[in-house]
Amino acid sequence: MIEQLLSIATCKKEMKKDMFLFREGEEPTHIFLLHSGKIRIGKITPDGKELSFRICKAGDFICETPLFYPTAIYSVHAKAIEEGSYSMIPKRTLEQYVLDNPDFNQKFMRQLGIQHQKNQSMFRDLLLHGKKGALYSTLIRLCNSYGIDHDDGIFLNISLTNQELANFCGMSREVVNRLLNELKRQEIITSEKSYIIIKDLEFLRNEIHCDDCPMEICRID
């Protein structure tokens, strides 16, 4: 599917850290295909707090707008958290390609459906499990997206500040600091600089009564 998207891309661009691909309220004119770097999809809440939904990496496409809906506007923003590059695909070109290629249509809509399920699952955890559960759920999702085997457990191969982690949980940095320190005292996690190592993943899963969602759903990317 990536090759098909590249075949209708119009240009390739470089991005700098902290650059916005688009902002909330703007009219969507393009779909984006990420070649390198990372993009965070998020939203500013009415009280001015930033809520992060997911991190897009190389090979991901960013389609945060419904197709065939001419009056849509972005309800989220896309901000670069690393330098990288991306291709742009005009929305109208993609819409016509979807109509002309049923096989691509099926694959593309499946990926959009998976992303919708990810968002629903994340919101469910934020609403049902409270602040502690929101953090535990986020750590589990990070394990599934960026975890690699480590002598002490699972190393999260992504550098996140406590504020960035708090943005995924919908809470303040101070609350995340307290909860992380509690997990460290219990020897559930440890840290190396701005990287986290999960020493007891099953503890986190048991605490939120994990539903054993498919791996493609229980992710942060």
- Kindly report the pTM of this predicted structure: 0.86
pLDDT at 45: 84
Residues 71 and 155 in one domain: no
pLDDT at 204: 94
Residues 143 and 72 in one domain: no
Residues 73 and 145 in one domain: no
Domain that holds residue 184: 129-207
Residues 91 and 18 in one domain: yes
pLDDT at 48: 81
CATH number of the domain that residue 161 is part of: 1.10.10.10
Counting the structural domains of the chain, the total is 2
For residue 213, is it within any domain? no
Q: Collect the ranges in the chain with pLDDT lower than 50.
A: none
Tokens of 165: 């982690």
- Which residues, at least 6 apart from 152, have a Cβ–Cβ distance to it below 8 Å? 190, 197, 199
For residue 156, is it within any domain? yes
Residues 47 and 92 in one domain: yes
- pLDDT digit string (tens) for 8-64? 888 899 999 999 999 999 999 999 999 999 999 999 888 888 889 999 999 998 988
Tokens of 153: 């457990």
Residues 39 and 94 in one domain: yes
pLDDT at 125: 72
What is the phi-psi region of residue 68: left when phi exceeds 0, alpha when psi lies from -120 to 50, beta otherwise? left
Residues 170 and 94 in one domain: no
Residues 161 and 80 in one domain: no
The span from the CA of 142 to the CA of 22, in Å, is 25
pLDDT at 186: 96
Q: Which of 100, 118, 147 is the last residue of a domain?
A: 100
For residue 66, is it within any domain? yes
pLDDT at 3: 82
pLDDT at 86: 96
CATH number of the domain that residue 83 is part of: 2.60.120.10
Concatenating the DSSP letter of every residue in 59-95 gives T-EE--S-TT-TT---SSEEEESS-EEEEEEEHHHHH
